Amino acid sequence: MIELAGLTKRYGEKVAVNNLTFAVRPGMVTGFLGPNGAGKSTTMRMMLGLDNPTAGDVRIDGKHYAQLKDPLKYIGALLDAKAMHGGRSAFNHLLCLAQSNGIPRTRVHEVLDTVGLTAVARKKAKGFSLGMGQRLGIAGALLGDPEILMFDEPVNGLDPEGIHWIRNLMKSLAQQGRTVFVSSHLMSEMALTAEHLVVIGQGRLLADLSMPDFIRQNSRSYVRLRSPQRERLLDVLHQAGVTAVEAGGGALEVDGATSEQLGELAARHQLVLHELSPQQASLEEAFMQLTAESVEYHAHADHQGPAPDGAPPSGQAPGRAPGQAWGAGRQQPRKGK
Amino acid sequence: MTTPPTPQQPQAQPQQPQAPHAPAPAPQPQGAYAGAVAAPQGPPAMVPAPPPAPAAPAPPSAWQQAMNNAYTSPIPVTKTNIGHALASEWTKIKSVRSTVWTLSIFLILVIGIGLLAVANTQSDDYQDVPFTVPAFFGLMLGQICLITLGVLVTSSEYGTGMIRTTFTASPQRYRVLAAKALIFFVVAFVASAGSILLVGLMASGAHSGPEAGDIPWAGSVFKGALYVSLLGVLALAVGSMLRHSAGAITTMLGVVLVPAILPGFLNIWESTAKLGDKMADYNAINSLAKIFRIDGIDSSSTGNSQLVLLVVITAAAVAGAFALLEKRDV
């Protein structure tokens, strides 16, 4: 278990991580989510004792990282796939790590086998593709068979096969009872792996809750209606006290009523419906709305264009109301900011 | 793993911004959600039940349970010590090509130039200088190789990002630096003492005629090797402080060459002439020359004070490297 208490990191005037308090619990994959520049990597570096916090505290099973005598047996971390000397072979890279923690040499062969790099064990790391480098980094993380694993953006730059592999690996590690903490700026990726979410933006904690709760609290559900008798439908809806919003292609989007209610309403007024479908905003959108205020690097040039990184093409985001920009939540004043 | 005290509840939710369209019913998601919803149903034993109230963390009992079920590794826990760090650094230094290259060039320079000098000297040339003098010429150039290697031992880890992996594996940073310095010093000392000894043996074998004075030369093997190895350790400390290979190598070349060049200027003015003389006496090249008794065995300068100065400077640089090591982020 990793516990953070009031963790803060300042670089001069700029606050990179602001008073973070949360815990990473064993037996599940905890997703650490935030837009670029939110402070994810800085937080992870502080967890590993690489950066000194300006204030606050991180404890691994109650101990400071620097107090761990053989940290690889507690924590395996993949911070950066290229955090290795390119001139060293994969085997020697892992061997020098193993020796520093008193891990037997046989274990190096085991982890190389686990990540599927046995065939290239004697090749230099600089000749490795991004995916192979990532696998070697993960082999290093698994070396001490640790109970806690941390991965910083593990799927970045991987091909679908590699992404699939990492996903399953993380899930199986969590199933063995380990603590798995994985950062990403892609909500869609987290949706497939994480059971618990910690969301930060501009160094502040925005959410710390389970995935189903996150979905429940942060995504909008609505019903999409299409009818040839559009004007009459609007009247009927208006009389029923339901607000409908125009969507593209003659469709209407209705909040606050179930599809059953709307279908029965239409039937009572003998309206023809061509479409009656419940919709839910994507998780990606929920994440965008949560962090909209705290995205550090906005793409300002084109407001209709693709949203900041990680956003799906607009076609995949059925929840977006017409004319409503990604950053709509930005205008909403929120307390506690 | 120790059972933790009653876990602290994570801070209450810092405000859950509601989606603009308020009611969020239907906890039965679809489409994109399928995976997300399926996930929590994974390992029932380990996963604390999804909290009943939105945003409330799992109750402590569930945590405790999860902690008790947490993974324990079959690999035995060992208390690491400097021995582990030395083994690791030894693997590191021998598993990259730059070590092999710089050391090979060093040996070629010292032994090659030494043998050339041996071949072009006569027995009477060794009348009042030790047999190791031929090694001095190669050593003047060869010391640059040891400086480069010393810098690379530390700075290459920063340049490649390896240092983050290293310090994650060994958070006792001082131990890592101590192991690096020790391993490097032993490697440099063995290589330089071995090559000086070899050249000395060649010279004494080839020029053992009656004209050669029987000058003792074991001291120059030891002191010469010590001098260039310390120069390498100084470079290692500078590399650790500057964290940049090119910058550190340039700095070290300055340390070696500037005091050899500057006296030429400083002697122009009377006020700086004294400083110029000191520099001329104590620069790295002259120091080596004194250690090898180039001026003749009767000369009063034995190179000992030069060696002491280098020991002091190296100790100061290593202390600086240790002091900065713990403070800085990597």
Query: What pLDDT sits at residue B70?
Result: 64
Highest-confidence segment of A159-168, A190-199, A258-267, B141-150? B141-150
- Chain A residues whose CB is inside 8 A of the B66 CB are 25-27, 177
Query: What pLDDT sits at residue A43?
Result: 95
Does the CB of A251 have a partner CB in chain B at under 8 Å? no
- Chain A residues whose CB is inside 8 A of the B27 CB are 212, 215-216
Does the CB of A315 have a partner CB in chain B at under 8 Å? no
Nearest chain A Cα distance for residue B253, angstroms? 25
Please check whether residue A71 is in contact with residue A65, taking contact to mean a CB–CB distance below 8 angstroms: yes
Q: Can you tell me the distance from the alpha carbon of B44 to that of A204, in angstroms, rounded to the nearest whole number?
A: 32
Kindly state the helix (H) or strand (E) to which residue A210 belongs, with its residue range: strand A204-210
Please check whether residue B215 is in contact with residue B129, taking contact to mean a CB–CB distance below 8 angstroms: yes
Q: Using CA atoms in the order B161, B162, B164, B168, what is the torsion angle rounded to 10 degrees?
A: 170
For A221-280, CATH gives: 3.30.70
More confident residue, B60 or B107: B107
Phi-psi map region of B41: left, alpha, beta (phi>0 left; psi -120 to 50 alpha): alpha
**Which of A203-217, B151-165, B232-246 comes out lowest in average pLDDT?**
A203-217
Delimit the domains of chain A by residue range.
2-216, 221-280
Question: Which of A85, A82, A66 minimizes the C-alpha distance to A74?
Answer: A66
Please check whether residue A303 is in contact with residue A325, taking contact to mean a CB–CB distance below 8 angstroms: yes
- Chain B residues whose CB is inside 8 A of the A219 CB are 19, 24, 29
Q: Can you tell me the distance from the alpha carbon of B206 to that of A186, in angstroms, rounded to the nearest whole number?
A: 74
Interface of A with B in 208-227 (CB under 8 A): 208-213, 215-222
**Number of C-beta neighbours around residue B128 at 10 A:** 15
Query: What pLDDT sits at residue A315?
Result: 38
Mean pLDDT score across all residues of chain A = 84
One fold for A2-216 and A221-280: no
The residues near B224 (Cβ < 8 Å, ≥ 6 apart) are: B132, B135, B136, B139, B192, B193, B196, B288, B291, B292
Query: What pLDDT sits at residue B124?
Result: 87
**Number of C-beta neighbours around residue B316 at 10 A:** 12
A302 has pLDDT over 60: no
- Chain B residues whose CB is inside 8 A of the A329 CB are 17, 20
Query: What pLDDT sits at residue A159?
Result: 86
Query: What pLDDT sits at residue A312?
Result: 40
Radius of gyration, alpha carbons of chain A: 24
Residue of A64, A221, A279 for testing the chain B interface, max B β-carbons within 10 Å: A221
pLDDT band at A139 (very low <50, low <70, confident <90, very high): very high
Nearest chain A Cα distance for residue B101, angstroms? 13
**Which of B221-225, B236-240, B324-328 comes out lowest in average pLDDT?**
B324-328
Average pLDDT of the segment spanning B194-205: 95
pLDDT band at B265 (very low <50, low <70, confident <90, very high): confident
Nearest chain A Cα distance for residue B123, angstroms? 47
% of chain A surpassing 70 pLDDT: 87
Does the CB of A257 have a partner CB in chain B at under 8 Å? no
Q: Which residue among A23, A84, A145 places its CB closest to the CB of B165? A: A84
Helix (H, G, I), strand (E, B) or coil at A179: strand
**Number of C-beta neighbours around residue B101 at 10 A:** 13
Q: Can you tell me the distance from the alpha carbon of A243 to that of A241, in angstroms, rounded to the nearest whole number?
A: 7
Query: What pLDDT sits at residue B64?
Result: 53
What are the phi and psi torsion angles at A149 (to 5°)? -125, 135
Query: What pLDDT sits at residue A300?
Result: 58
B23 has pLDDT over 70: no
Question: Which of A150, A91, A92 minimizes the C-alpha distance to A115?
Answer: A91
Delimit the domains of chain B by residue range.
82-327
Please check whether residue B303 is in contact with residue B225, taking contact to mean a CB–CB distance below 8 angstroms: no
pTM over 0.95: no
Q: What are the pLDDT digits (tens) for A256-285?
A: 888 898 999 999 999 999 999 988 777 777
pLDDT band at A186 (very low <50, low <70, confident <90, very high): confident
- Chain B residues whose CB is inside 8 A of the A171 CB are 39, 42
A193 has pLDDT over 80: yes
Nearest chain A Cα distance for residue B125, angstroms? 46
Interface of A with B in 1-60 (CB under 8 A): 1, 3, 5, 21-23, 25-29, 45, 48-52
- Chain A residues whose CB is inside 8 A of the B160 CB are 82-86
What is this model's ipTM?
A: 0.77
DSSP state of A234: H
Centroid of chain to Cα A22: 16
Contact state of B329 with A101 under an 8 Å Cβ cutoff: no
A309 has pLDDT over 70: no
Question: Which of B248, B224, B75, B234 minimizes the C-alpha distance to B157?
Answer: B248
Kindly state the helix (H) or strand (E) to which residue B166 belongs, with its residue range: helix B162-169
A91 has pLDDT over 60: yes
Nearest chain B Cα distance for residue A269, angstroms? 26
B309 has pLDDT over 70: yes
Query: What pLDDT sits at residue B310?
Result: 96
How many Cβ pairs within 8 Å bridge chains A and B? 294
Percentage helix, strand, coil, to 5, in chain A? 40, 25, 40
Whole-angstrom CA distances from B300 to B35, B140, B280, B290, B293 are 84, 22, 16, 9, 9
Query: What pLDDT sits at residue A120?
Result: 95
Interface of A with B in 112-141 (CB under 8 A): 140
More confident residue, A98 or A295: A98
Q: What are the pLDDT digits (tens) for A22-38?
A: 999 988 999 999 888 88
Nearest chain B Cα distance for residue A229, angstroms? 26
- Domain at A2-216, CATH homologous superfamily: P-loop containing nucleotide triphosphate hydrolases (3.40.50.300)
DSSP state of A201: E
Contact state of B87 with A99 under an 8 Å Cβ cutoff: yes
Nearest chain A Cα distance for residue B109, angstroms? 25
Query: What pLDDT sits at residue B68?
Result: 54
Does the CB of A153 have a partner CB in chain B at under 8 Å? no
Q: Can you tell me the distance from the alpha carbon of B149 to that of B248, in angstroms, rounded to the nearest whole number?
A: 11
Nearest chain A Cα distance for residue B117, angstroms? 36
Q: Can you tell me the distance from the alpha carbon of B141 to that of B147, in angstroms, rounded to the nearest whole number?
A: 11
Contact state of A212 with B50 under an 8 Å Cβ cutoff: yes
Query: What pLDDT sits at residue A327?
Result: 41
Residue of A42, A85, A89, A108 for testing the chain B interface, max B β-carbons within 10 Å: A85
Average pLDDT of the segment spanning B297-314: 90
B286 has pLDDT over 70: yes
A17 has pLDDT over 90: yes
